[in-house]
Homo-oligomer: A and B are copies of this chain.
Amino acid sequence: MTSVKLNNFQDIKSEVLGRITTRVWPPGELIPNEEDLAAEFGCSRATVNRALRELSDNGLLERKRKAGTRVVLNPVRKATLSISIIRHDIENRGCTYGYVLLQREHIIPPLVLSKTWGVPAKSKMLHLKALHLSNSVPYALENRWINTKHIPKALKIDFDVQNANEWLVQNAPFNNGDIAFSATNTDAKESEYLDVAQGAAVFVMDRKTWHDQAPITTVRVLFAPGYRMYTTI
């Protein structure tokens, strides 16, 4: 019964969202097709298309050619989270960032790693351990492997002064990667570095990145207790 003319896709998005949440169009229901909605809203089909496409991207609608658009039965809400550079996280909170390289070695990695990356078992990789500090307090402990076969330049960089994370971002672009988040109890060494009691629960991020098929780097970051990763739906 909205005879109001909706002129932009944002308005249409929220109108449609409203009908979903107020169950005018309940879960599983087939909604009118784009042409009909365009007629109802007094706009073009392209505008309706964009609104519905974005809602579909957000996981609220399911769209299939010929079959039409229906409200998702079990809305799998999609949240986007920004994986930023640790220094930015810290500085955005008004704290001063600090960085310490704990360890650097060019060695043959554990078999698990060369296996999962599909690189020869005997080829060396660059292994770095570093600590990120916020106001001189341990913030995150980073354990990184760099594929020097693909990024030989990395061997010449002095990671004592240059943060590996930031150097890689600038010098070793990647186009795909995967991330896993989990929790773990710190072992003796980790708790020492992070200055917490052994066994303290810490938030963990494991990330692997590739450029096309070539592995770039894999990193495991343990965030000091109290760390929270936020997002909105």
Q: List residues of A whose CB falls within 8 A of some B CB.
A: 17, 20-23, 27, 59, 74-85, 88, 166, 169-170, 173-185, 199-204, 209, 211, 223, 225-233
Contacts and interface: CB of A to CB of B under 8 A. Distances in A.
Contacts of A17: 175
A173 B82 contact: no
B20 A232 contact: no
A116 to B, nearest CB: 15
The quantity of this chain's copies bound in the complex is 2
Contacts of A175: 17, 21
Given A23-B173, A75-B169, A173-B21, A179 B230 contact: yes
A218 to B, nearest CB: 13
Nearest to A225: B183
A201 B184 contact: yes
B76 A84 contact: yes
Contacts of A88: 74, 76
Given A27-B170, A74-B85, A178-B230, 18 more contacts: A20-B173, A21-B173, A21-B174, A78-B80, A80-B81, A81-B81, A81-B231, A176-B232, A178-B231, A178-B233, A182-B203, A183-B183, A183-B223, A183-B227, A200-B201, A201-B201, A201-B202, A209-B233
